[in-house]
Amino acid sequence: MVLSIIVPVFNEKNTIADILKKIEEVDLSSLGFKKEIIIVDDYSTDGTREILKSLSGEYKIVYHSKNQGKGMAVQTGLKEATGDYVIVQDADLEYDPEDYKGLLKTALKEDAKVVYGSRLLHSKDNYSHRSFYLGGLFLTWAANLIYGIKITDESTCYKLFETEFLKSLNLKARGFEFCPEVTAKTAKRGVKIYEVPIQYHPRHVKEGKKIKWKDGLVALWTLIKYKFID
């Protein structure tokens, strides 16, 4: 079996080499998986693109001709994905690829189409700033209320999907609203979202964190919108 790992990248010259090394070091063979690493550079201008072009290794790399947003980068990567399961890996170092194992174990054990990695379920619940933490809690509460589901971390980056299921969702998101879109569309299909604890090593805005408060408003609107449209 194959896990497709989509890595959207935009101006991450300080971390891209490190995160790719961590992905490479994860050994999934005990679970019967190989890795397919798909990097989508969303028109980086800080030197990231030059680093990617110098890489040696088995990567699929796609370069956007203009900056389009994380959601569009994910869509581009999904077109290249051939694995049985797919996960999105941010190009910073907030999430640990070693946690792929727990997500895959649950997917196999439960025959699950969707497994989320929950930062809230981990014994060390870290967050970079109170506003990000509270915003995540609010979006989780909203998703649970609107769709009648029970999850603890809606805005987590680590969302594992059966590849064909994710492709069937007809994604539209261009930016960070990818997360609430897939949560909404999964819930509307009546597909259970399983959760497992994951590690989290938050970075601050000064270190390059890109999400802003207005992205939270867009996420909320996305949850509401897809309650009424497909």
Residue for token digits 């998101």? 173
Q: Model's pTM, two decimal places?
A: 0.93
CA atoms within 13 A on the CB side of 44: 23
Residue 195 banded pLDDT, cuts 50, 70, 90: very high
Q: Looking at residue 130, what is its pLDDT?
A: 62
Q: Looking at residue 128, what is its pLDDT?
A: 55
Query: Which residues, 6 or more positions from 195, have their beta carbon under 8 angstroms from its beta carbon?
Result: 115, 116, 117, 118, 121, 151, 152, 153
Q: Which two tokens stand for residue 59?
A: 């990567």
**Is 90 exceeded by the pLDDT of residue 213?**
no
Assess contact for 166 and 87: CB atoms under 8 A: no
Angle between helices 213-225 and 130-147 (to 10 degrees): 0
Q: Looking at residue 30, what is its pLDDT?
A: 97
- CA distances from residue 31 to 47, 86, 101, 108 in whole angstroms, order as listed: 36, 15, 8, 9
Question: What is the rounded average pLDDT of the residues 152-165?
Answer: 97
SS3 40: strand
Phi, psi of 103 (to 5 degrees): -65, -45
Q: Which two tokens stand for residue 109?
A: 């054990």
Assess contact for 151 and 195: CB atoms under 8 A: yes
Positive or negative CA dihedral for 21, 199, 31, 60?
negative
Residue 44: name the closest of 221, 187, 160, 208 by CA: 208
Question: What is the rounded average pLDDT of the residues 162-178?
Answer: 96
Question: What is the rounded average pLDDT of the residues 127-145?
Answer: 82
Question: What is the rounded average pLDDT of the residues 82-100?
Answer: 97
**Is 60 exceeded by the pLDDT of residue 52?**
yes
**Is 50 exceeded by the pLDDT of residue 208?**
no
The domains located in the chain, with CATH, are 2-225 (3.90.550.10)
Assess contact for 83 and 36: CB atoms under 8 A: yes
d(CA 74, CA 6): 7
DSSP 94: S
Beta-sheet pairing, 2-9 with 85-88: parallel
Residue for token digits 């969707």? 114
Residue for token digits 């890109």? 210
CA atoms within 13 A on the CB side of 99: 25
